[in-house]
Structures are given as structure tokens and as C-alpha cells.
């Protein structure tokens, strides 16, 4: 009883406030550790396939028990085929004086990702057809790919391109992309944390972008730290983390795990989590899945600035998880939308753009969402006709008429009222407009006193319905 009372006192002042749960906080240490890992991952030249992804997965496996899968080039994956591996060693454009005016060694963004090998001497106007730059952001190097088109190119700052163009077309440039496109395999990583139940939560982030920090290192490090946190916790649900090359990696996992898809009860694509004040959640294609309600509840009750958006078939790998023949309940947690922030897909999406405290806030929100999914169950009242007498069980204020009703008491009454097996704890929290953790605490108290049972536990003692 005294412990209940103290719980009531602790919680009494929190209604309407934006207090967060224990899980919904992440320390500065977490933020800095995630940023440090991002810093180690940043220089690696990732692509759809090849050494960059493997090196990336190796670094992640220092933090979490990561299984690496290799799928050979040419394997059919639904409508697609596993592409060749891109092995790049060097790439540059050298002017007549022997100076490297564009150099892969300085930034892996300088080469159009997945370019075919080239060795040629070209005049400026010939070379210029293969250059990409941003006229309206003249100091940034754009990020370009050519995954399913057989071509090559270089990316550079527009200011530099104009300077080179001013030199005229007299000289020839030596153009070298020292790369191979060869049969090999596609690599992806998977962390599986089993729980009491086979029902699982799927987390997915892409690992195929080279030196870009927010898109995609932020998703990778938040997913990794979320997995680390879950490793140490008792788990009702199983949790599966996928570290996959965009599109083809998600398709590959789906194709190889078709018999398992029924177990995926909730899912989140994690991306763009290192910059931007507010969190953004894009709902699953279903729109009213439990994950959709859970995330909106956490964002709203946590008092965070946030946005909720309906599904649309553009964006990240939710496109694949929400394709019509798959239709998993997978949403996408971001801060910005792709293309919404000016540094998107340019050299300015770097380690300065992503901030430790923002990464920590994203991690905290993820933890809070997981707490809801883990604790969300349906309960059945064992005393459904009229209210049970809470007073003699220490669940009700002692002197009738005193003002001030603790929110935990409200949560207890709401849960009892809706414990008909048709309402989950999250449903109750939403209808009562109370925080989920209060309902979870109420459920604990009522379970201890045998006033409710978990629906899946079946009937412990006959409940006397009228």
C-alpha cells in the first residue's frame, strides 16, 4: 500500500505535462557514443554492394550480435536481380599539368556511385557531359548514383566547375575511374533478439550511402543503440534489426523470409534521425496499425514537437515493406523528410550536421515506442459487474470528498472500465487521454490484486458476468 501511495504521489503532478518515461530519455553519453560511431563509419565508400558495406557491417558487429548474409550476384529477387559488386580503387580527373582537379581520394562523393570503369583523355566539353554539380548550392558536391544505368560520372562543386569551364576547351583531361563491376554478392546484416513470443518487431535502416551522415549514418547508429538497449532487457516480443542496402536489400530480405512475414507485427524504418528539431512519423500503408497508434501516442504524450504523415509510396524502404503483396505494418520514423533539408544528398550532410543530442532524442523516442509495444496487451476484468471495491485493496483515497484525484487512480478506473478484452492498454490510454506508462502501472497494480487477467492467459477463475 505504501508503495502504491508513493507511486500516486510521484505521478500525481504529471497529468497533462509532457513527462517522459524512464526509457524515453537517453543520456548525453549515448548521444556522443552514437556520434563517435558515425564518425568511424563516415569515411567508408559504401555502395549497393561491395567492400564498403562489408566494412560497415564489421564495425556495427562490434556493438551488436550481427549476422552478415551474402547473396550472390544474379540471384533473382522478386522482379529484380542481385547486381554485380562495385569495386573501386581510385578515380580522378587530371589536367594537362598533372594536377588532380577532381579526386576520389578527397571525397568518395566525387565519383558517381556505381560508375563503370573509365580510362580516357577527354576535352572539356566531352568531360563536362559527365559532370554533376549544383548551381544553387555552388560549394557543395552532390551525391549521385547510377545503379541501374550503365554509365559513369564525376560530381563536384559548381563553383569549381565554372572555374574549370573558364579555362576553355584547349586542354585535354586524363579521366580515370579505376573500378570493376564483377560478380560477387550483396551483403546485409541482421540482429535478432528473441523474446517470449514469436511475434516480432522489425527495424530497418539502409547502409548503402557513402560519406553522408544524416542520410544514412544517423539511422544506423540509432538502430544499433536501440538494439544494445534491448539486449539487456527482458523481452516479451522478438526484435529484428535489418541493416540493408536500400531497395534491393529490403527486397532481398523480404524474398528470403516470406514464410516469416506473418510474425512481423510492427515495424519501423529508421532514417534521417540526426538533425532537425521535430520528429516526423509516416504511417504504415494500413494507417491504423498498432505501430501507428503507438508512435503517435508517444510523440504526443512525450510533448515533443512532431508531425504525423499518411503513407505514400515514395521515400525509403517502407515502399517495399508496404507493397501490396507484403503490406506489413511498417511506418517510418524520421526527423526531416528526404529532400526537405538543404544539405540532403550533398557533401554538407556531414558529421557537423548531425548532433549528439538530436541522436539521443531520436533514440529516446524509439525506446519509448518499444516500451509501448512491449507492454501493450488486452486485459479482462475479473470483477466486471460494477466496480470492484478499491478502497480495501489500497487503490482508493481513504477519506471520501477530499479533492485531488491522482492520475494513477484515474488510470486504474479507466482500465477496469475497459478491461473487456476488446481494448488494448494503448486503446485505453488513447480514450482516457492518459499516458501509456500510467496505464501500464495500473495494469501491474490490478494484476497483483487479481482484479484483471491478461487476455491471452485464459480464464484463471471464472469471471462473474451479469
Residues forming the site for a copy of itself (CB under 8 A): 77-80, 132, 142-149, 151, 247, 250-251, 254-255, 258, 261, 285, 312-314, 319-320, 322-327, 339, 345, 381, 383-389, 391-392, 398-403, 405, 410, 413-414, 416-420, 432, 463-466
Q: Return the number of the residue (119 or 392) whose C-beta is nearest a copy of itself.
A: 392
List the beta bridge partners of residue 67.
190
| Cβ at position 441, least distance to a copy of itself in Å | 17
Q: Return the number of the residue (360 or 434) whose C-beta is nearest a copy of itself.
A: 434
What's the rounded Cα separation, in Å, for the pair 274 and 217? Answer: 8
| Cβ at position 292, least distance to a copy of itself in Å | 16
Q: Return the number of the residue (142 or 219) whose C-beta is nearest a copy of itself.
A: 142
Max Cα separation, the chain?
Answer: 96
Q: Return the number of the residue (135 or 166) whose C-beta is nearest a copy of itself.
A: 135
Cα-trace Rg, the chain? 27
Going by C-alpha positions, the residue among 79, 360, 46 that lies closest to residue 216 is: 46
List the beta bridge partners of residue 88.
179
Q: Return the number of the residue (155 or 364) whose C-beta is nearest a copy of itself.
A: 155
Q: Return the number of the residue (100 or 449) whose C-beta is nearest a copy of itself.
A: 449
| Cβ at position 396, least distance to a copy of itself in Å | 8
| Cβ at position 92, least distance to a copy of itself in Å | 21
Residue 210 contacts by C-beta under 8 Å, 6 or more apart in sequence? Answer: 44, 45, 46, 47, 52, 108, 109, 113, 143
| Cβ at position 461, least distance to a copy of itself in Å | 13
Q: Return the number of the residue (147 or 192) whose C-beta is nearest a copy of itself.
A: 147
Q: Return the number of the residue (58 or 460) whose C-beta is nearest a copy of itself.
A: 460
Residue 193 contacts by C-beta under 8 Å, 6 or more apart in sequence? Answer: 227, 230, 231, 235, 238, 239, 240, 241
Hunting for cell 523480404 — which residue is that? Answer: 254
220: left (phi over 0), alpha (psi -120 to 50) or beta: alpha
Sign (positive or negative) of CA dihedral 38, 42, 43, 49: positive
| Cβ at position 167, least distance to a copy of itself in Å | 26
Q: Residue 406 has which C-alpha cell?
A: 491522482
CB-CB contact of 215 with 253 (8 Å): no
| Cβ at position 314, least distance to a copy of itself in Å | 6
What's the rounded Cα separation, in Å, for the pair 430 and 436? Answer: 8
- Parallel, antiparallel, or unpaired: how do β-strands 200-206 and 238-244 relate? parallel
| Cβ at position 17, least distance to a copy of itself in Å | 20
- As to burial, measured by CB atoms within 10 angstroms (0-12 exposed, 13-18 middle, 19+ buried), residue 274 is buried
Amino acid at each position: 500500500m505504501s508503495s502504491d501511495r508513493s507511486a500516486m504521489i510521484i505521478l500525481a503532478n504529471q497529468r497533462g505535462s509532457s513527462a517522459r518515461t524512464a526509457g524515453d530519455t537517453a543520456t548525453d553519453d549515448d548521444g556522443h557514443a552514437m556520434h563517435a560511431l558515425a564518425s568511424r563509419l563516415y569515411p567508408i565508400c559504401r555502395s549497393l554492394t561491395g567492400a564498403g558495406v562489408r566494412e560497415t557491417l564489421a564495425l556495427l558487429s562490434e556493438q551488436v550480435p550481427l549476422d552478415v548474409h551474402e547473396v550472390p550476384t544474379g540471384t533473382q529477387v522478386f522482379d529484380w536481380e542481385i547486381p554485380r559488386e562495385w569495386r573501386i580503387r581510385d578515380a580522378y580527373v587530371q589536367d594537362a599539368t598533372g594536377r588532380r582537379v577532381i579526386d576520389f581520394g578527397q571525397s568518395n562523393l566525387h565519383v558517381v556511385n556505381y560508375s563503370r570503369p573509365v580510362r580516357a583523355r577527354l576535352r572539356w566539353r566531352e568531360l563536362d557531359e559527365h559532370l554533376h554539380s549544383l548551381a544553387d548550392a555552388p560549394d557543395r558536391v552532390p551525391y549521385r548514383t547510377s545503379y541501374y544505368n550503365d554509365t559513369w560520372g564525376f560530381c563536384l562543386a559548381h563553383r569549381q566547375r565554372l572555374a574549370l569551364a573558364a579555362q576553355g576547351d584547349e586542354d585535354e583531361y586524363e579521366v580515370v575511374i579505376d573500378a570493376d563491376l564483377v560478380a560477387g554478392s550483396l551483403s546485409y546484416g541482421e540482429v535478432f533478439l528473441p523474446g517470449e513470443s514469436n511475434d516480432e518487431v522489425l527495424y530497418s535502416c539502409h547502409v548503402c550511402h557513402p560519406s553522408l551522415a544524416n542520410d544514412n549514418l544517423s539511422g544506423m547508429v540509432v538502430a544499433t543503440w536501440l538494439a544494445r538497449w534491448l539486449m539487456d532487457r527482458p523481452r516479451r516480443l522478438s526484435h529484428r534489426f535489418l541493416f540493408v542496402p536500400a531497395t534491393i536489400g529490403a527486397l532481398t530480405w523480404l524474398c528470403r523470409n516470406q514464410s516469416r512475414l506473418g510474425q512481423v507485427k510492427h515495424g519501423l524504418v529508421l532514417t534521417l534521425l540526426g538533425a532537425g528539431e521535430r520528429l516526423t512519423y509516416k504511417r504504415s500503408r494500413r494507417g491504423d496499425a498498432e505501430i501507428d497508434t503507438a508512435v503517435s501516442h508517444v510523440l504526443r504524450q512525450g510533448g515533443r514537437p512532431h508531425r504525423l504523415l499518411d503513407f505514400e509510396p515514395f521515400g525509403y524502404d517502407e515502399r517495399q515493406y508496404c507493397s501490396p503483396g507484403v503490406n506489413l505494418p511498417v511506418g517510418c520514423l524520421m526527423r526531416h523528410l528526404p529532400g526537405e533539408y538543404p544539405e540532403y544528398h550533398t557533401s554538407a550532410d556531414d558529421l557537423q550536421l548531425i548532433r549528439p543530442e538530436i541522436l539521443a532524442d531520436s533514440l529516446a523516442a524509439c525506446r519509448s515506442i518499444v516500451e509501448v509495444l512491449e507492454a501493450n496487451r488486452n486485459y479482462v476484468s475479473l470483477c466486471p459487474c460494477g466496480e470492484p471495491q478499491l478502497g480495501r485493496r489500497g487503490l482508493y483515497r481513504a477519506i471520501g470528498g477530499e479533492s485531488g484525484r491522482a492520475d494513477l487512480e484515474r488510470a486504474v478506473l479507466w482500465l477496469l472500465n475497459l478491461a473487456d478484452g476488446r481494448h488494448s492498454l494503448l486503446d485505453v490510454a488513447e480514450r482516457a487521454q492518459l499516458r501509456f506508462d500510467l496505464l501500464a502501472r495500473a495494469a501491474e497494480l490490478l494484476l497483483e490484486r487479481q482484479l484483471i487477467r491478461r487476455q491471452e492467459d485464459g480464464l484463471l477463475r471464472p469471471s462473474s458476468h451479469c
